[in-house]
Each structure stands twice: as structure tokens, then as C-alpha cells.
Structure 1
């Protein structure tokens, strides 16, 4: 009995010692497991926070349709409105073409005048003087007509015309032809300058008519019913003025330049007339170059 009690006491002591030894180890293991779980959770949170969600792509903005511009005028305008706009565009193109071409032509004649002043009067004979000018020069054309008139006066019906009068007429006709050539196109500028505002005004009246028609159909004078046709009318007025103003200014400017160029041409014609009517030429009008 005593031995049994001793064995029981020993087993109880061993169990107590084992329990006291294992409990701290379990607590440590539990703490490590908790810390590992916490670390894993923190890492997961950091990973979640580090992941950057890309921003959404911006939506494509569509351009707002302008119902009051040139595009709307051409798209929504009727046949009459488009025809009016087309006429104004043609007027503008013709105006600028004539302005640039006339400036080039006048500069060319002015350059030929400087050449004639430098070379023509320094020559020894009329033929050499004529040949010193450019083939397409207006001054050479006048000189050729003047020289030709002196060689085709005798022995024809032109003998009834005084020699002085005949040479004068020939040179004057040549000068007038040069002037007519320089003046080509100026009438178009004058026409555009005087009619383009009225063409634009016609477009304005037609646009106002459309506005009144829209008001009458809708029964209310709201801005969306009136703004489009009125905007069309104002654009037509602006285009008409934009076409007319350059035409008027170009006409006046080119006319002044023509006057300056033609003054030089007339001076050259007067000097040539005096040379052709000189006593030496009258004595031998056909072949002055033989001297």
C-alpha cells in the first residue's frame, strides 16, 4: 500500500513537472505564431497599399458644334445662300489675282522705262536704239510703231495726211494701246468694290427672311430659332465687306501707279516724236541709219 502510494506520488510529481515545463513552451509557440500572423498581415496590407490602380482614361471630348460659323452656313444654307457665298468667293479670288498681276505688270513696265532712259537715247541710230530695248518692252513697241510710220507715209493714200499728224497719230495709238493693256482688270475691281456689299446685303436679307419664317413656324421668338438665321445674315454682310474693301483700295492704288507709269511712257513718246520729226529725218525718213 505504501509502495502504491509512493508510485502514485512519483507519477503525480512527474506529470506536474512535465506540465510546468510544457506550458511556457506552448505560450512561446503561441506568441511566435501570433507575431508571424501579424507580420504576414502587415506585409499583405503594405502590398495592398503599394499596388497603384491606374487612373481611368480621360473621356474623349467631342467638339461642340457651332451653329453660327461658316461651316454651319454652308451645311445648313439653302441653294440661294450657297450661291451667294460662292459668288463672293469668286469675287475675292478675282480681286486678289488682278491686284498681284497688275503690280507685277506695272513693275515690269517701270523697269523697261528705266532701261529705255539708260540705253535708248545713248544709241547712234534709231534701229540700234530700238534693238537696245527688250523684245517685250512697251517702249520698244512704241518706238517700232513710230519708226514704221515714217517709212510708210509716201506713195499711199496716207499722203493726204500731214506727215507730222501721221507720226503723232501712230505714236499716240501705240501709247493708248499700252495704257489699255495696263488698265485691263481695273474695271473688275471697280465692279467688285461697288457690288460686293450689296451681294452681302442680299445674303443678309435672305437670312433675316429665314429667321422670320422660323419664328412664324415655331410660334415663339426663342433664341434657338432666331440665332442661326441671324448669324447667317451677319456672316454674309461681313464677307461682302471683306471682299469690297480690298477691291476699292486696290483699284485706287493701281490707278495711281498706272498714272505714274503712263506719265513716263508719254514722255518717251513725246521725245520720240520730236526725234522722228527732226529736219535730218525729214530729209531722209526711210534710211537715217546710213549716216
Structure 2
């Protein structure tokens, strides 16, 4: 144990680490709030325009400001697959098989990409929520060890000598917990939001698949 290191250096290093954790937590939190609010708005806006279209051709030609957002990107992936499959006419391996299953797979792949985008940053929140208390505890333990060494060296056990260094060391644990709580709460909240958005995307995939196959069947008739 390097007793020559000042306790203040160790505690300050811990506090700066926790400060970085706190800044990262609130940065991710504010960004995710904006991201989910924006996605919700874009999805509602796109849904209103998509279901007002008379057919898939008109739905594919929606204005650029409307065709933005997770559901819009899934729809664009579906339109791209339909157009490419018609041009390929079964001459490429990726279009050989049941059209319904191939289209569904293409839509699900895009949906998984959208889910990964929504989940970005959540791992950081979970990591901070789980490690911040231990970082604070680490600073507290080292601070107390230094305090005990100083008390032993001074030979005095008065309250003034004991309370000050130990009290300063315990601050690190308190801040560690204070940093972890918002990170854990934000992680749980956004994880629930991801599940809700995924359910909405799954419903849209099922609806798009049904409409695309129905339109294809009518075209063949």
C-alpha cells in the first residue's frame, strides 16, 4: 500500500471518475429522451400518411419529411425488397424461396437494426449503474486505510483526528450511490421504452407484410 500518496489525491481521483460517470449518464439520458420522443413523433406522422395512401405505390411516394423514422425505414426496406425481387425474377439466390418468408425476413432484419439503434447507450447506463457504487467504495476504503495509518502514526485517537479523514472518505461512497441511482432508473425506463417501440414495429411489420402480399395476390389475379 503506497502510504506516501496523499489521501486527498485518491479521493479526488475517485470523485473525478464519478463525475465523468455522472456526465456520461446525463448525456445519454437527455439524448435518449430526445431520441424516443423524436421516434414517436416520426412514427405517428408516418403512420397517418401511410394508412391514408390508396395503394403501395402512393405509400412509397410519400413526401421526404414524412418518410422519416423507424417505421418509415422498415417500409422503405420492404419497398426496396419488392422492387428488387420483381426485377430479379428469381434469378438471384436471395430471392429464391417463398416471397412471404423472404419479405418477412427482410423486414425483421431492418427491425432488428432499428432495435439496436434504440438500445445504443443502454449498456453504458447499466455499466455505470453497476460499477459507480464500487468505485465510490474503492475510494472510501483507500481513504479509510490512509486515515488509519495517519491515526496510528500520530498516536492520537481523539474525535478530531478520527472523524475528519473518515468522514471525507465516506463522501466517495455517497457520491457513488448518487451517480448509480439515476443510471439504473434511466436504464430500466429506456429498456421498457425499447420494448414498447419494438411491439409497435412488430405490429407494423405484420401489417405491411399482409398488405404487400394482398396487393401481390390481386396483381396476379
Q: Do structure 1's residue 136 and structure 2's residue 71 form an aligned pair?
A: no
Structure 1 length as normaliser, TM-score? 0.67
Per-residue Cα deviation, 1:203-248 (whole angstroms, up to 9, x for no partner): 1101111110111110111223222321221110110010001111
Partner of 1:152: 84
Q: Secondary structure at the match of 2:54?
A: coil
Partner of 1:228: 164
Distance across 2 between alignment mates of 1:142 and 1:117: 12
Gaps of at least 5 residues in structure 1 are 1-74, 286-291
Partner of 2:116: 180
Once the two structures are TM-superposed, the CA of residue 283 in structure 1 deviates from its matched residue by 6.4
Gaps of at least 5 residues in structure 2 are 1-5
Partner of 1:58: none
Partner of 2:16: 86
> Is the 1:113–1:265 Cα contact (8 Å) retained in structure 2?
no
| Higher RCO (CA < 8 A, seq sep 6+) | 2
1:1-291 aligned within 5 A: 77-78=8-9, 80-130=10-60, 131-132=62-63, 134-153=66-85, 154=89, 155-278=91-214, 280-282=215-217
Distance across 1 between alignment mates of 2:79 and 2:34: 29
Once the two structures are TM-superposed, the CA of residue 156 in structure 1 deviates from its matched residue by 1.0
Distance across 1 between alignment mates of 2:59 and 2:165: 67
Distance across 2 between alignment mates of 1:105 and 1:138: 11
Q: Secondary structure at the match of 2:51?
A: helix
Q: Secondary structure at the match of 1:152?
A: helix
Distance across 2 between alignment mates of 1:221 and 1:202: 24
Q: Secondary structure at the match of 1:117?
A: helix
Distance across 2 between alignment mates of 1:235 and 1:227: 12
Distance across 1 between alignment mates of 2:141 and 2:57: 64
Per-residue Cα deviation, 1:234-269 (whole angstroms, up to 9, x for no partner): 110110010001111111111112222221121111
Aligned residues: 209
Distance across 2 between alignment mates of 1:135 and 1:94: 32
Instruction: Please provide the CA RMSD for this pair.
Output: 1.9
Distance across 2 between alignment mates of 1:175 and 1:182: 11
> Is the 2:129–2:184 Cα contact (8 Å) retained in structure 1?
yes
> Is the 2:77–2:110 Cα contact (8 Å) retained in structure 1?
yes
Partner of 2:3: none
Distance across 2 between alignment mates of 1:284 and 1:149: 17
Once the two structures are TM-superposed, the CA of residue 159 in structure 1 deviates from its matched residue by 3.5
Structure 2 length as normaliser, TM-score? 0.87
Once the two structures are TM-superposed, the CA of residue 107 in structure 1 deviates from its matched residue by 1.0
